[in-house]
């Protein structure tokens, strides 16, 4: 089938595709060897793990999706 894994990280090493539960990537530094052996790239931890150009989040609950929509499109930042 000629399907090969390629890196989907941005230029700063942030994930564009989150293929598992968000918190697993956020806390990936708790057991980095076990976590990173399933990826072709080394994954950072915390918010540095995620690209500002994120494309896909998998395994979200309905509440999580609604919260993300609320934060992105309805909350206004006031100085």
Q: What is the mean pLDDT of the chain?
A: 82
Task: Output Rg (C-alpha) for the chain, integer angstroms.
Answer: 14
Give the model's pLDDT for residue 32: 64
pLDDT of residue 79: 81
pLDDT surpasses 70 at 75: yes
pLDDT at 25: 77
pTM, to two decimals: 0.64
Which class for 28: exposed (0-12), middle (13-18), buried (19 or more C-beta within 10 A)?
A: buried
Summarised one tens digit per residue, pLDDT across range 34-64 is: 666 666 677 788 888 889 888 888 888 899 8
């Amino acid at each position: 089938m000629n399907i090969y894994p390629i890196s989907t990280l941005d230029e700063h090493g942030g994930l564009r595709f989150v293929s598992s539960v968000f918190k697993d990537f956020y806390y990936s530094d708790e057991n980095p060897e076990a976590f990173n052996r399933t990826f072709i790239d080394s994954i950072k931890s915390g918010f540095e793990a995620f690209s500002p150009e994120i494309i896909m989040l998998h395994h979200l609950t309905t509440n999580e999706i609604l919260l993300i929509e609320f934060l992105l499109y309805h909350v206004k930042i006031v100085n």
